[in-house]
């Protein structure tokens, strides 16, 4: 049944009267994937794949096509494949992106598209990195509500303005795109990293939380917020559009105003 027409990996069939119809344009994509398998070799290499993709496809669809039809040993993480779970952060053309949110048509398909694991974390295989150091920093900022008052019988109410204060940092999906785009983190793995600070920010500025001071004290560390050099790589990398550098600056300010 090989003569059967290939189906786009993400299939959208809209009838002509609502703007759909017609053929989805196809193009050839040259995918250059960073491969690493410690059971075979200690060295990472580049593998090239040529696939025909559709205008509606994302980098993740190209990776699927490679894995399902060309080389089943290509390894990468992905769960929801729709930009929510945050497991397929990778370095696409040198920038940290979610493979499931990066459309191929937005990239320059005349040149090879490079796909690498995110930097700064130990690579386990191909595009899979060990996220444990990342989650350890996340745990250390205590990303949960701590309230010293009596347990209310109903939900804890909060005004819209109080909620707005930390709205931006609630969007984090822990994909590690920010932390692994940070040049400070590349050389200093002990740095808490943008993601941990963003998640601390989410509770520090929550009016219902009572442990803001504890978190500020944790981030007033040698490896805490003062390590940030405001290069804005994290804000650029965040697939949720969180203003990460601004959140870090707000935590810096909060520590300063508490100490002085």
The contact set with another protein (CB under 8 A) reads: 122, 130, 132-133, 136, 183-184, 187-190, 218, 220-224, 226-227, 229, 252, 255-256, 259
Cβ-count burial 74-111 (b if 16+ within 10 Å, e if not): bbbbbeebebebbbbbbbbbeebbbbbbbebeeeeeee
> What is the smallest separation between the CB atom of 140 and another protein, expressed in angstroms?
8
Least distance CB 19 / another protein (angstroms): 47
For 80, the token pair is 């929801």
Task: Supply the minimum distance, in Å, between the C-beta of residue 198 and another protein.
Answer: 18
CB of 184 to another protein, least distance (A): 6
Task: For the chain, list the strands marked E by DSSP.
Answer: 26-35, 45-54, 89-92, 95-98, 113-116, 123-125, 128-129
Q: Which is nearer to another protein, 47 or 217 (CB)?
A: 217
Q: 119 or 208, CB closer to another protein?
A: 119
Considering beta carbons, is residue 29 or 234 the nearer one to another protein?
234
Specify the residue, 102 or 179, whose C-beta has the smaller distance to another protein: 179
Q: How many angstroms separate the CA atoms of 237 and 235, rounded?
A: 5
């Amino acid at each position: 049944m090989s003569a059967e027409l290939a189906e786009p990996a993400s299939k959208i069939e809209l009838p002509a009267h609502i703007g759909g119809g017609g053929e989805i344009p196809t193009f050839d994509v040259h995918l250059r994937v960073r491969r690493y398998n410690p059971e075979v070799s200690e060295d990472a290499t580049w593998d090239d794949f040529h696939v025909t993709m559709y205008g509606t496809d994302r980098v993740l669809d190209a990776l699927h096509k490679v894995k399902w039809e060309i080389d089943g040993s290509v390894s990468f993480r992905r769960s929801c494949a729709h930009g929510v779970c945050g497991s397929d952060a990778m370095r696409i053309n040198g920038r940290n992106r979610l493979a499931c949110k990066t459309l191929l048509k937005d990239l320059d398909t005349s040149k090879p598209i490079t796909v690498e694991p995110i930097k700064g974390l130990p690579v386990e295989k191909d595009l899979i990195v060990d996220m444990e150091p990342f989650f350890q920093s996340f745990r250390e900022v205590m990303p949960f509500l701590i309230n010293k008052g009596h347990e209310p019988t109903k939900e804890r109410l909060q005004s819209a303005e109080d909620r707005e204060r930390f709205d931006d940092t609630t969007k984090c999906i822990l994909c590690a795109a920010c932390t692994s785009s940070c040049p400070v983190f590349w050389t200093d793995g002990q740095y808490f990293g943008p993601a941990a600070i963003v998640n601390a920010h989410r509770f520090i500025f929550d009016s219902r939380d009572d442990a803001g001071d504890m978190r500020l004290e944790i981030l007033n560390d040698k490896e805490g917020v003062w390590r940030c050099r405001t290069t804005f790589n994290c804000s650029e990398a965040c697939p949720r559009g969180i203003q990460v550098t601004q959140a870090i600056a707000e935590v810096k300010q909060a520590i300063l105003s508490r100490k002085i």
